[in-house]
Amino acid sequence: MEINKLILDDNLEIQKPIESKVKRILFLILFSAISFTTTSQSKDIVLADTTQGIFILINKTYSLPKNYIPADLLKMTEKYGDSTKMIKKETYIAFKQMHDDAKRDGITLWITSAYRTYNYQKWLYDRSVNRNGRVYADRTVAQPGFSEHQTGLAIDIVSARGKSLTVEFEKTKQFEWLSSHAHKYGFILRYPKDKENITGYRYEPWHYRYLGVEIATKIRKSNLTYEEYYNQFIDNK
């Protein structure tokens, strides 16, 4: 089904992705807009290119329709993560391998958050706005339709059930292990430190994005954010 126009709850108009050359120029304009507006929601919003598969870019500019549900969602087992939650099959296979190898190094990795529905994201965002106000909410929680978690390709990692998501995670041996090894399993740290002006989000040492080994390794070596990498190498083909 082709979606030409969608109106979100907040009446932001979403346009259909356009031809690739124009899109690249548009991206550069939007990209500068994100850099300047930093944490606030981008004013120019387009639908994400879902034909990019696991390379899809979701951020404050590129969004998913309310009815987007990824294929191949699985329930996790408690050994690897929260068994009440779902994850995309490819992400899960890669994580299980990473988990088992980390375990052999004496490191426990556990997924506390993976796939989220549009409605669950809406609930999380509204709760954050009610608790902390809109400005803080926009730095920390994606608006519904703008979360990578809706793709099933993003995971939040903790050391055990019940651990909360805080920047303290960067001081753990889990984080140290992930910093050296995550890319070998296809994961990148999606919201690195001091890149809020590009990604639109505060540093999140717990949030990893599955991109496959090749791209994750290239990003790790280049030190680019996914926004920058996507613009230069993926959307440029």
Q: Indicate which residues carry an active-site annotation.
A: 204
- What is the distance between the alpha carbons of residues 66 and 150, in angstroms, rounded to a whole number? 10
- Residue 23 or 163: the one with the smaller Cβ distance to Zn ion is 163
Stretches 2-10, 27-35, 118-126, 155-163: which one binds Zn ion (CB under 5 A)? 155-163
**Alpha helices, H only, the chain:** 20-37, 89-104, 118-132, 134-140, 173-181, 196-199, 213-222, 226-229
Tell me the closest approach of the beta carbon of residue 85 to Zn ion, in angstroms. 12
State the angle between helix axes of 89-104 and 173-181 in degrees (0 to 180), rounded to the nearest 10: 120
Exactly one of 186, 207, 219, 231 binds Zn ion (CB under 5 A); that residue is 207
* Number of amino acids touching Zn ion (CB under 5 A): 2
For 154, the 3-state DSSP assignment is strand
Residue 156 interacting with Zn ion (CB under 5 A): yes
Burial of 237 (C-beta count, 10 Å sphere; 0-12/13-18/19+): exposed
Nearer to Zn ion among residue 27 and residue 205 (C-beta): 205
Here's the x/- map for Zn ion, 47-66, by CB under 5 A: it reads as --------------------
**Among the residue ranges 3-11, 88-96, 149-157, 174-182, the one whose residues contact Zn ion (CB under 5 A):** 149-157
CB of 191 to Zn ion, least distance (A): 8
Q: Which stretch binds Zn ion (CB under 5 A): 21-29, 92-100, 135-143, 202-210?
A: 202-210
- When asked if residue 88 is in the footprint of Zn ion (CB under 5 A), the reply is no
Q: Which is nearer to Zn ion, 27 or 210 (CB)?
A: 210
Using a 10 angstrom Cβ sphere, with 0-12 exposed, 13-18 middle and 19 or more buried, the burial of residue 213 is: middle
Q: Which stretch binds Zn ion (CB under 5 A): 18-26, 122-130, 204-212, 216-224?
A: 204-212
What type of residue is 155?
I
Min. distance of Cβ 99 from Zn ion in angstroms?
17
The CB-of-37 to Zn ion minimum distance in angstroms stands at: 21
Examine residue 209 and tell whether it contacts Zn ion (CB under 5 A). no
**Sign of the C-alpha dihedral computed for residues 102, 221, 214 and 121 taken in this order:** positive
Q: Residue 40 is which amino acid?
A: S
CB 148 within 8 A of CB 190: yes
Distance between CA atoms of residues 112 and 155, nearest Å:
8
How near is the Cβ of 190 to Zn ion at its closest, in Å? 8
Binding site for Zn ion (CB under 5 A): 156, 207
